[in-house]
């Protein structure tokens, strides 16, 4: 138990000043500061780098990382565990491990909390945890430090109300993602609460087709077996729907799914039924929206190539890369280390296979070049700055001369 008798903390420990220097040294980047000062543009020789005006760490991520640092400072002699990754960035998670924070990795059966004792400290990640995980930890009696993002909590409130009012929560998200699992679990606060998860418009169209025309119930259930409540019945639970989403999905797709599902319900049941039995809200987080808007603005400029930095399992980064790939040759790198100036190779995520692949000669060695750059909300400034430095070196330019 914590010294003051409390076991649940959501607002940190008032130790921001104590950890600020360490955070700054771990994550700040000189070249990023310079880009901001120069209207998000750095040029050297015939190479120009343009940075999207919204990029990298969002408030929710900054808060989660800061609280993790505060937790280690607050409990220097306690065992500190983290439920999964704090955010989807390998550098940040590795740094927490270096600080002595042990990451609990999920299995097919979920997280194993048997190693956690009442005197231990457990950090809940920015994505949140399921209701079952929370109750398990509360039963153990350990100290919990909750870094769940406020935007995620907003979605939880919507889903909670849907379930309370007897609506099926139709969630646009990735069924295996930590945030989506935690969001879906919110329906379990209410008896009979039901959810259904759709990955994209194609899966939403399956749902819409069933709403309007029915179909093969067994085939439908087989397809959504891992993506729906155990008791979900499409013949019963698609008559009242409330749409929500994983906060980091592609905003335009989430909005389109909400609109089209509403239209499908109206065609099947009539306008009055839609008014009474269909709800939708835009719950894409503002930081996700801002980064997508900034990328769209940057893509209006002439660019030769686009670089997107962020974890391969970061949904908001994947969405940014998808937007960019529609307009210009795009590379999604997990970290700055994916750019290898000495060989001219770049290691990046293949958008089709999702595997990491290598591409040679991704940057020409001569001629004027304009490179666009952005980063997912889990990418720290130092890694963005390091990527900028490696791009310049790949063009034969010493980044130290960029002033």
Active site residues per annotation: 179
Q: Confirm if 226 and 233 have CB atoms less than 8 A apart.
A: no
Question: For residues 31 and 306, what is the distance between their CA atoms, to the nearest angstrom?
Answer: 18
Q: How many helices (H) and strands (E) does the chain have?
A: 15, 17
- Per-residue CA distances from 14 to 1, 20, 95, 96 (Å): 18, 12, 22, 19
State both tokens at 242. Answer: 């409330």
Tokens of 49: 């780098």
Do 255 and 189 contact (CB within 8 A), yes or no? no
Distances (CA, A) of 101 to 2, 31, 82, 104, 335: 17, 30, 7, 10, 22
- For the residues of 247-314, what is the DSSP string, one character each? TTS-HHHHHHHHHHHHHHHHHHH-HHHHHHHEEE-----HHHHHHHHHHHHHTTS--SEEEEES-TT-
**Residue 266 CA to its chain's centroid (Å):** 32
Q: Is 349 helix (H, G, I), strand (E, B) or coil?
A: strand
Return all residues near 174 (Cβ < 8 A) that are at least 6 apart: 180, 197, 199, 246, 315
CA distance 370 to 303: 5
């Amino acid at each position: 138990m914590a010294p003051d008798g409390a076991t649940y903390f959501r607002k940190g420990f008032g130790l921001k000043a104590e950890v600020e220097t360490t955070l700054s040294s771990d994550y700040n980047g000189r070249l990023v500061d310079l880009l901001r000062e120069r209207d998000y543009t750095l040029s050297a020789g015939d190479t120009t780098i343009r940075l999207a005006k919204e990029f990298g760490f969002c408030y929710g991520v900054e808060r989660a990382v800061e609280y993790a640092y505060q937790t280690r400072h607050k409990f220097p002699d306690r065992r500190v565990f983290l439920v999964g990754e704090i955010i989807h960035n390998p550098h940040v998670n590795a740094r927490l491990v270096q600080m002595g924070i042990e990451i609990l990795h999920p299995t097919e059966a979920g997280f194993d909390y048997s190693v956690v004792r009442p005197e231990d400290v457990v950090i809940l990640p920015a994505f949140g945890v399921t209701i079952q995980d929370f109750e398990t930890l509360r039963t153990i009696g350990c100290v919990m430090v909750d870094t769940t993002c406020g935007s995620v909590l907003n979605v939880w409130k919507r889903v909670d109300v849907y379930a309370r009012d007897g609506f099926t929560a139709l969630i646009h998200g990735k069924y295996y993602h930590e945030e989506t699992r935690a969001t879906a679990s919110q329906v379990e606060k209410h008896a009979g609460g039901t959810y259904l998860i759709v990955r994209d418009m194609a899966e939403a169209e399956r749902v819409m087709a069933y709403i309007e025309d029915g179909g093969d119930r067994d085939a439908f259930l087989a397809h959504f077996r891992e993506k729906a409540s155990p008791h979900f019945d499409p013949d019963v639970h698609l008559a009242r729907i409330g749409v929500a989403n994983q906060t980091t999905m592609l905003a335009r797709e989430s909005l389109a799914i909400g609109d089209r599902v509403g239209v499908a319900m109206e065609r099947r049941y009539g306008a009055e039924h839609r008014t009474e039995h269909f709800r939708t809200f835009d719950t894409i987080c503002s930081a996700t929206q801002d980064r997508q808007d900034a990328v769209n603005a940057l893509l209006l400029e002439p660019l030769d190539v686009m670089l997107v930095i962020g974890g391969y399992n970061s949904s908001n980064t994947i969405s940014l890369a998808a937007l960019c790939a529609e307009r210009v040759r795009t590379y999604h790198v997990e970290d700055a280390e994916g750019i290898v100036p000495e060989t001219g190779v770049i290691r990046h995520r293949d958008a089709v296979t999702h595997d990491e692949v290598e591409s040679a000669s991704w940057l020409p060695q001569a001629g004027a070049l304009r490179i666009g750059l952005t980063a997912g909300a889990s990418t720290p400034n130092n890694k963005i700055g390091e990527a900028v430095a490696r791009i310049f070196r790949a063009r034969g330019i010493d980044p130290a001369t960029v002033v």
